[in-house]
Structure formats: C-alpha cells, structure tokens
Structure 1
Amino acid sequence: MKSKLLLFIIVSCITTNVFSQANTNINQYKYVVVPLQFDFLKGKDQYRLNTLTRYLFKENGFDVYFDEQELPEDLFKNRCLAIYANVKKVKSFLSNKVQIELKDCRGNLIFVSDEASTKVKEYKEGYRIVVKEAFESIKFLDYSYDPKIDNALAQDITNAKSQKEAEDKAEIERLKKEVDALKAKEVEINKAAELRKSEAVAKQKESELQNEKPKTVNEAAPVKVPEMKRDETLKTELIVGGYRILDSDGAVAMTLLKTAAPNVYTVKGKDAIVFKQDGNWVYSENTGSSKVEKVLKIKL
C-alpha cells in the first residue's frame, strides 16, 4: 500500500513539473497553427475534426489559424511566433485513442496531452469525444500570451536566425547557378536550332543552283528589365504567396513569388530573382546577352 502511495506521489510530481514547464514556454507563443488535415485521416477536415480542434483553442484564448489560410503578416515573416498543434492517433485495441501534440517552428516537442480514449465505434462521434477529452490537458495550462521572451529562447532564436541566414545565402547562390545554367542551356538549344536551319537553307539553295548566301538570322532581342527610376522607393502589396511591387503611379512593376528560402523570391514571368543581401533587396536577371543586378528600394 505504501509503495503504491509513493509511486502516486512521484508520478504526480513529474506531471506537475511537465505542466509547469509547458506553461512557462507556451505563454511565449502568439499564435497556434492547426493543420487542415490530420495524418491519420483520409481527407481535409474529415468529421470536422480540424474545425473542432481550432474551435477548442479559440475558446481557450488562443489566436488560431489553419495552415492553409492567409496568415498574419508578422507570422508570415516569422513562423517561430506560433506553436503547431496536431492530433495524433494512438494505437489501441477496440477503442479510439488520441493525443494532442504541440511543437515549435523547428519541430521540437513542447507539450503532449494525456491520452484520451473511448469505446464508441462510430468514428465521427468517437473522435470528437476523445479530442475534447484530450484538450482538457491543454486547458490545464491556463494559456495567456506573454510577449516577453526569456533569454534562453531569445538566444535560441538568434542562433536559428544566423543559421537560416547562412542557409538562405547558400540557397541564393544555388538559385543563381540554376538561372545561369538554364540560360546557358537555352543558348545552346537556340544555337543548335539556328545551325540546323542554316544547313537546311544551304541545301535548298544548292539544290536550286542559286548563289545567294543564306540570310543571317538575327539573335533574339534581350529581355527588357522593368523600367524603374533609380531613386524611386517602390510600394509593396502583400498577396497570397508573395508581393506585388508598385511604381509611383500605382501600376504593377513586378510580382514576387515566395521560394523555399525566406528573403528569396522569383520574379513572375522572368528568369530573375529578388533576394536580400547586406540589408538591401537586389534584383538579379540573366538576359542571355548580359547579367543585370540592381538594388531595389522596397520594404518586404
């Protein structure tokens, strides 16, 4: 009897410590992101389970978004402002059992709820019951957003930012090489096509016993770079998946589309990229006849 009591006290202390640590961390996150589809289900928002999960977070004071909807601007720029929730199915015989996991932007586990189970066999009703039951552990955390980040977390974010900047720089160089390689390949293809065309013309002229020289095929005109005033500060307009760049008249100068690397965008309709370097936004394009790079006065 005494051993059982001692075991109960130890488990209670461990559980309280876990909850306390989770509560310390969770209050420093401004948003919660819920996936529109959980891995153990076959479709988006099946049984409206994802909607239920988002509702439970909202009801308990969290600012919640689905992962596929438009995000707030600060979260769009810094995904580490959010925690990422997921409902995970736990293997169980003759019952529906789940847990709710909370992770940070780098996939580190912050908190795991208690397991919740039910013997209700009907999936729609059964899953809704266990998700609500599992969420009771999160209610216990008594979440309240605290914008003050502790030194350890701030240092972690600084280190992650430095690592990300190095990765972004490498990604920029990789994208530049890809653009140059594509342009070189295009030049080779065009030269081969011109050569075949010239040979065909020569054979035709020879067969007709004419002395006319084959006509010289003009090289393709270089792609024009968007005309922008040197000292003009361009306006930006946030869109889904990137930005529109507007000139002083409000006309669209170019459309930037987000790539896998933050601070690197492709220019819609052109073999060009815009990337951040030494605090400036740089437009880089290989026109085939020359390479163009210029600093843009924009704020993204």
Structure 2
Amino acid sequence: MINKILLGLFLMICMFANAQKKSVNNYKYIIVPEKFDFLKKADQYQTSSLTKFLLQKKGFTVFLSNEELPSELAVNKCLALYAKVVDKSGMLAVRSAVELRDCFNNVVYTSQVGKTKSKEYKKAYHQAIRNAVSSMQDVVYEYKEEPIQKEEVIIAKNISDKVVKNVVISPKVIETPLVKDKIAKKESILSKELKVLYAQEKNNGFQLVNTKPEVVFMILKTNVKDVFILKDKNGILYKNGTHWIAEYYKNNQLHTEKYQIKF
C-alpha cells in the first residue's frame, strides 16, 4: 500500500512538471462536479448531469464527483481531468465555456463559448453548454497511457516482489515484532518533534508561517483534497494521516519534510 501511495505521488509530480505537454488523450477519466461555482445548488438546472452526458457522447469516461469513483483514482487522482463550466454571461445573453483541468488546476483544454439569448435559466444554460461542447470538434478522444508511467509501475512491482521473497526466505522474519516495536518508538519520537506551521489564507491558497514568524511555504490549492502545490518550488504538499508531507526538488535532489499544520 505504501508503495502504491509513493508511486501515485511520484506520478503526480511528473505530471505537474509536464503539464504543458498534455492533451486530453493522456487522461483516463473526467470528473464533473456536482455543483458548478456559479450556481447555488447541486446539479441546479441539471447542468452537471447534462455536462456529464455530453462529454460521454464525445467518448470520455465520465463520473460526477459524488458518484463512486474507480479505485485507481484513490491512488492517483491525476488520471482524471476535472470539468468546469465557466459562466461568462452578460446582460443580454447566457454564455458558457467548458474547461478541462488537471489535478494541479492547470487548464488542459477550453471549449469555445456557447451562447444563447433565452431568458429561461434552465433552457439557456442547457443550450449554452450544448453549444460549448459542440465546439469541441478538434477533440477525438482515445486514451493513451504514458509509457513512462507504465515503466515506473513495472519497476515498483519488481522491487515489491523482491522484498516479499526476501522476507519469506530470511529466518530473521522471526524477529519482526521486535523490529516493529523499534520502528513504532522511533515514529512516536519523530511525531513529537514535528515542526508546527500556521496557515494564513491568501489568494488561491495559503502562506505557512512558523513561530518566529517566518514564511516557510506559499501553497496553492488544487482540485485534489489535501494536496497543494508548493509555489516557487518544484514540489507538492499533501496530508498523510495526522501530519503533512512537503516534497520538493532542490539542487536536483528530492527533499521530504514532515510538518504539523494548523489551518
């Protein structure tokens, strides 16, 4: 399980670094929110249901955010694009565009603006969204799994197999309870020594300060729960149990740091 989590995080970092090179064909799923930002209720005017239906007709595998999602998305949320209907309405017309964003909130694709002059809200939003999706004529969807990701999975699996074989063969397995006790004690000591940071809300995220106070990190929100981008650093911040992990590259070396963060 730990190997899967670490692998998922590694893939997320790789995807962030290569975000500009992506196309919709690099993503396996699309997630449509149950409520768009410009509306007050979940699936108001059936806008979310309609968006899901229209994207399915384009060949995508689509889920609403409140539906049961594939288990592989729990390990790697970056397998999906996240749909967003952007309301650009004015006084005389309803205008909507469909954006597809990756797990780091980068825009991968934007449709043309669909518009209508209908004054009845449900009819107007439906027509505008239909027109926006209809403009996606340049999209011919066919999922293409990235070879780099596939290679990493195979490597991780081979390493895992070797570890299992060593545990089965080695007579030192008998001492496993003692090893676990030592590890548990060590982790307990580490948890007491975790540095505490305090979150102060900023545009699109937070600044994390220590007790001095000094700004340690600037973090940006993503569409993934409990995952943030470390601004001005090539890395991410994510929650692991009761603490937070910051992973970033400095001088071509991966640095991993644990914190307690008070939001």
Please give the per-residue CA displacement for 1:171-227, whole angstroms capped at 9, x wherever unaligned.
x99x9349999xxxxxxxxxxxxxxxxxxxxxxxxxxxxxxxxxxxxxxxxxxxxxx
- 1:23 deviates by 11
- 1:38 deviates by 0.4
**2:240 equivalent to 1:264:** yes
What TM-score, normalized to structure 2? 0.50
- Report the 3-state secondary structure (helix = DSSP H, G, I; strand = E; otherwise coil) of the residue aligned with 2:115: strand
In the alignment, the residues of structure 1 paired with residue 192 and residue 136 of structure 2 have an alpha-carbon distance, to the nearest angstrom, of 48
User: Is the 2:32–2:51 contact (alpha carbons within 8 Å) kept by the matching residues of 1?
Assistant: yes
In the alignment, the residues of structure 2 paired with residue 59 and residue 129 of structure 1 have an alpha-carbon distance, to the nearest angstrom, of 16
- Report the 3-state secondary structure (helix = DSSP H, G, I; strand = E; otherwise coil) of the residue aligned with 1:138: coil
- 1:262 deviates by 5.7
Map 1:5-20 onto structure 2 (within 5 A).
none
In the alignment, the residues of structure 2 paired with residue 69 and residue 179 of structure 1 have an alpha-carbon distance, to the nearest angstrom, of 36
The letter of the residue matching 2:113 is E
- 1:58 deviates by 1.4
**2:65 equivalent to 1:89:** no
Instruction: Name the residue aligned to 1:136.
Output: 134
Percent sequence identity over aligned pairs: 36
- 1:91 deviates by 3.5
Instruction: Name the residue aligned to 2:66.
Output: 68
The letter of the residue matching 2:124 is G
Q: Specify which structure has the bigger relative contact order, considering alpha-carbon pairs within 8 angstroms and separated by 6 or more residues.
A: 2
Q: What is the number of residues matched between the two proteins? A: 152
In the alignment, the residues of structure 2 paired with residue 93 and residue 100 of structure 1 have an alpha-carbon distance, to the nearest angstrom, of 20
In the alignment, the residues of structure 1 paired with residue 226 and residue 140 of structure 2 have an alpha-carbon distance, to the nearest angstrom, of 37
- Report the 3-state secondary structure (helix = DSSP H, G, I; strand = E; otherwise coil) of the residue aligned with 2:23: helix
Map 1:166-181 onto structure 2 (within 5 A).
176-177=191-192
Map 1:127-276 onto structure 2 (within 5 A).
127-149=125-147, 176-177=191-192, 264-265=240-241
In the alignment, the residues of structure 1 paired with residue 23 and residue 110 of structure 2 have an alpha-carbon distance, to the nearest angstrom, of 13
User: Is the 1:23–1:142 contact (alpha carbons within 8 Å) kept by the matching residues of 2?
Assistant: no
* CA 1:115–1:263: 2 relative to 1, 3 Å: closer
Instruction: Name the residue aligned to 1:98.
Output: 96
* CA 1:107–1:142: 2 relative to 1, 3 Å: same
* CA 1:113–1:259: 2 relative to 1, 3 Å: closer
In the alignment, the residues of structure 2 paired with residue 263 and residue 39 of structure 1 have an alpha-carbon distance, to the nearest angstrom, of 25
Instruction: Name the residue aligned to 1:121.
Output: 119
- 1:265 deviates by 3.0
Instruction: Name the residue aligned to 1:51.
Output: 49
User: Is the 2:52–2:63 contact (alpha carbons within 8 Å) kept by the matching residues of 1?
Assistant: yes
Please give the per-residue CA displacement for 1:25-66, whole angstroms capped at 9, x wherever unaligned.
110100101100001111000011100001111122111111
By percentage of residues, which structure has more strand?
A: 2
Query: Cα RMSD over matched residues?
Result: 3.6
The letter of the residue matching 2:72 is D
* CA 1:259–1:114: 2 relative to 1, 3 Å: closer
User: Is the 1:28–1:149 contact (alpha carbons within 8 Å) kept by the matching residues of 2?
Assistant: no
Where does the alignment leave 5 or more consecutive residues of structure 2 unmatched?
1-19, 153-186, 197-224, 228-236, 246-263
Asked which structure has the greater CA Rg, the reply is 1
In the alignment, the residues of structure 2 paired with residue 139 and residue 75 of structure 1 have an alpha-carbon distance, to the nearest angstrom, of 28
